[in-house]
Amino acid sequence: MKGIVLHGGQGTRLRPLTHTGPKQFIPVANKPISQYALKDLVNAGVREIAIVLGDVYPEKVKEYYGNGGSFGAKLCYIHQDLPKGIAHAVSLCEQYVNNEPFIVYLGDNLLKGGIKQFLEVFKTQNYDAMILLCDVEKPQYFGVAEFSEKGRLTGLVEKPKNPPSNYALTGIYFFKPAILKMIKQLKPSWRGELEITEAIQLMLQNGYNVGHQFVKGWWKDTGTPEDILEANRLVLDELKTEIKGKVEDQSSIQGRVSIGDNTLVERGALIRGPAIIGENTTIGANAYIGPFTSIGNDAIIKLSEIENSIVMDHCIIDVDERIINSLIAPHSKIIFGGNNKPRGRRLILGERSYVEL
C-alpha cells in the first residue's frame, strides 16, 4: 500500500498567506497542515509516500520534509505544476504506484481519529475504490454523494447547486489501480480540471466495487482563513499540557498549555489554554495569550492580548491592542504607532508584513 499526499493548488482564498508558500504549509497548532496527513498515513502503516507538488514554492516543501526519514516515511516528489485537478495529480503517480493499491490524501485536510480503521475496511472488503463521507452543513461547496432509497451509493456530483444529500467527500480516497483507467477517459470539467468525482462515477457505471464509509469524528477542509482557525481550535481542544521552557511564575499558566524548548514566559504574563507556544519564544510580562491560540517559534509577544489566532514563526507583536481571529504569517511585526483607535483587531497578514496600530 502506497500513499499520495497532494500539495498543489493556488490557495487563492488564503491570500496573502499563500503568496510565499503553499496553503498546505500554513501551521495548525504549530505544524504544517500537510504534516497531519503525512502522520496519519504513517500511523496507518503506510510508509512509502509520494508528495505531489504544485508551483507555489515547492522547494519549501522538499526542504522541510526531505527524504521523510525524520517523519517515519520514505518520500519521493512528483511535480504537477499547474493545478489541473485531483484526478490529474493522481494520474501523474501511475508509475509510482506500480499497480499497487494506494491512498490519496489531500494535504489541506484534517481528520480526527485517523484512517487506520478505514484502511482495514478497504482491505477486508476488497473494494476497487472507497470514499470517506462527512455530513456537512453546506454540501454545495463539495463533491456530494448520491444514494438509492436502500442506501446504496449510486453517484457523485461535484459542487452541485441542488445537493442530492448532505454527505460530502472528504479529501481522502482509497484506490486500486483501476482508477487510473477511468482517469484516462476524462475530459476537463467546466473548471478546466480533471475531476476525481467523475473518475469514481465512471467506476460505478462500469460495475466496479466502490465502497463508502462515514466519518464519525470531525473532518476539516482548510480552504479559508476561517477554516484554518477552526482547525486550530479543533486540534488545540485535544492538547495535553507540556512545559519544556521556563515559566517564571506558574500562576501564568491556566488550563492546557504546551510550551516549547528555550521559551520564556515572564512573570506577569498570562496564558490561558488550550494554547501552544513554540520554541525560543518570549511571552512578555504584560502579554495575555488566550484560548485557542498558537504562537510559533522565535517570536516575541509583548503587551498584546491575543485570542483564537495563529501567530507564526519570527513574529514580533508589541502593541497594546486586542488581536482576535487572526492569521499572522512569519517575520511579521506589529507595533504601537501612537494612534488611539478602537481595540479589537482581526488581521490576515502575509509574510514579512509590518503594521503600526
pLDDT tens, position by position, 70-82: 999 999 999 997 7
Give dist(CA 51, CA 38) in Å, integer.
9
Q: How confident is the model at residue 125 (pLDDT cuts 50, 70, 90)?
A: very high
Q: Is 30 left (phi over 0), alpha (psi -120 to 50) or beta?
A: left
Has residue 123 got a pLDDT over 80? yes
The C-alpha atoms of residue 174 and residue 212 are separated, in whole angstroms, by 10
Which of 27, 26, 29 lies closest to 258, judged by CA?
Answer: 29
pLDDT at site 287: 95
pLDDT at 56: 83
For 28-62, what is each residue's pLDDT tens digit? 999 999 999 999 999 999 999 999 998 888 899 99
Cell of residue 102, nine digits: 494506494
Using the 3D structure, point to which of 163, 193, 224 is the last residue of a domain: 224
pLDDT at 267 over 60: yes
Domain-embedded: residue 75:
yes
CA 124 vs CA 27, 130, 161, 244, 274: distances in Å: 35, 12, 36, 43, 39
**342 pLDDT higher than 80:** no
Same domain for 288 and 197: no
Residue 343: band (very low, low, confident or very high) from pLDDT cuts 50, 70, 90: low
230-243: pLDDT as tens digits? 999 999 999 999 99
Structural domain of 121: 2-224
Task: Assess contact for 52 and 4: CB atoms under 8 A.
Answer: yes
Assess contact for 88 and 96: CB atoms under 8 A: no
- The CA distance from 155 to 148, in Å, is 9
Contacts of 265 (CB under 8 A, 6+ apart): 245, 246, 247, 248, 252, 253, 259, 271, 277, 283
Give the per-residue SS3 of the chain: CEEEEEECCCCHHHCCHHHCCCHHHCEECCEEHHHHHHHHHHHCCCCEEEEEEECCCHHHHHHHHCCCHHHCCEEEEEEEECCCCHHHHHHCCHHHHCCCCEEEEECCEEECCCCHHHHHHHHHHCCCEEEEEEECCCHHHCEEEEECCCCCEEEEEECCCCCCCCEEEEEEEEECCHHHHHHCCCCCCCCCCCCHHHHHHHHHHCCCCEEEEECCCCEEECCCHHHHHHHHHHHHCCCCCEECCEECCHHHEECCEEECCCCEECCCCEEECCEEECCCCEECCCCEECCCEEECCCCEEECCEEECCEECCCCEEECCCEEECCEECCCCEEECCCCCCCCCECCEECCCCEEEC
- Using 50, 70 and 90 to split pLDDT, how confident is the model at 158? confident
Identify whether residues 180 and 319 lie together within a single domain: no
Is 258 within 8 Å of 241 (Cβ atoms)?
yes
Q: What is the pLDDT of residue 321?
A: 86
What is the model's pTM? Answer: 0.88
The larger pLDDT score, comparing residue 223 to residue 40, is at 40
255 has pLDDT over 70: yes
pLDDT digits (tens, 9 = 90+) for 126-147: 899 999 999 988 888 888 999 8
Domain boundary among 195, 224, 253: 224
Please report the pLDDT score of residue 55 as a whole number.
Answer: 85
Same domain, 84 and 208: yes
User: CATH number, domain at 91?
Assistant: 3.90.550.10
Query: Chain-centre distance of CA 187, in angstroms?
Result: 29
Give the number of domains in the chain.
2
Q: Please check whether residues 219 and 256 belong to one and the same domain.
A: no
Q: What's the confidence (pLDDT) of residue 356?
A: 63
The pLDDT value recorded for residue 234 is 95
Tally Cβ neighbours within 10 Å of residue 93: 20
Range 200-224 average pLDDT: 91
User: Do 137 and 254 belong together in one domain?
Assistant: no
**Structural domain contains residue 232:** no
pLDDT > 70? residue 314: yes
Per-residue pLDDT tens digits for 280-313: 999 999 999 999 999 999 999 998 899 999 999 9
Longest dimension (CA), the chain: 69
Please tell me whether residues 301 and 183 are part of one structural domain: no
pLDDT value at residue 320:
86
Indicate whether 129 and 278 sit together in one domain.
Answer: no
User: Residue 235 falls within a domain, yes or no?
Assistant: no
Torsion, Cα of 167, 169, 170, 173 (10° steps): 140
Angle at 20 between CA 287 and CA 33, to 5 degrees: 70
Check whether residue 247 and residue 110 sit in a common domain. Answer: no
Question: Closest Cα partner for 177 from 121, 104, 246?
Answer: 104
pLDDT above 90 (res 19)? no
pLDDT above 80 for 105: yes
- Percent of the chain exceeding pLDDT 70 equals 96
Single out the residue in 224, 253, 280 at which a domain terminates. 224
With respect to residue 179, please indicate whether it lies within any of the assigned structural domains. yes
Mean pLDDT of 247-268: 96
User: What pLDDT is attached to residue 73?
Assistant: 94
Domain for residue 16, yes or no? yes
State whether 268 and 213 are in the same domain: no
Q: Is residue 285 part of a domain?
A: yes
In a domain, 234, yes or no: no
Q: Which pLDDT belongs to residue 170?
A: 92
Does the residue 102 lie in any domain?
Answer: yes
Give pLDDT, residue 357. Answer: 60
pLDDT at res. 78: 96
Query: Are 32 and 167 in a shared domain?
Result: yes
pLDDT of residue 20: 80
